[in-house]
Structure 1
Amino acid sequence: MFKRRIGPHPHEDTGNGSAAANSCPDIWELDSGDFAIIGVEQTEQLRPHLPSDAFLDPGEGIVVLPRHVLVKARKDIPLE
């Protein structure tokens, strides 16, 4: 099911001289080609602030991924 990590391991050096010890935000490509995100679940905190054209269907949630995780993963994200 989990095919490969997208971006560096979350416990590698974060670039500021310290490794992430207590946080593991991560991006994974699945065998299906979809992506799984490990981040902080913040559905209830952010739901009231959704733009008027954004919706959450049953079973969906809002997960926050730190910017630096996606920026570092950019080169590993497939174009197609």
Structure 2
Amino acid sequence: MARAWEADPSALFVKRLGKSAEELGNSQGREQCPDIWQLSNGDIAVIGRDVTDHYGSRLPEGVTLGADERLVVIPGNMLTAAKPDIPEA
């Protein structure tokens, strides 16, 4: 069965949403840098800690992870800083 949405691996990184991890105090240098980026096709890429193994068995009812999906966590202040860059629905 075809999915309603599929990630396009040919999309390019276009614009950081919000501030860098270093600007927010969430990183010390270039290692371990969570981030949020808009891609050239309008999709959003999130770089965060992979916590799939920790949260996978505790997902809320009705929430599932596909075999090729991972659950990542980013610092809350990173999403808050990105809010001005996210258009209203």
- Report the TM-score range of the alignment, normalised by the length of the smaller protein: 0.7 to 0.9
Structure 2 portions without partners, runs of 5+: 1-11
Deviations 1:14-57 (A, max 9, x none): 3xxx5730541110000110000010000010001101210111
Percent identical pairs in the alignment equals 37
Is 2:18 the counterpart of 1:11? no
- 1:56 aligned to 2:65? yes
What is the RMSD of the two structures over their aligned residues, measured on CA atoms? 1.6
**Residue 78 of structure 1: how far off its partner (Å):** 2.0
Distance 2:36 2:52 in 1: 18
Deviation at 1:77, TM superposition (A): 1.0
| Number of residue pairs the alignment of both structures matches | 76
TM-score by length of 1: 0.85
CA distance in 2, matches of 1:9, 1:68: 11
Where in structure 1 are there 5+ consecutive unaligned residues?
none
Q: Does 1:20 align with 2:27?
A: yes
Is residue 2:32 matched to residue 1:30? Answer: no
TM-score by structure 2 length?
0.77
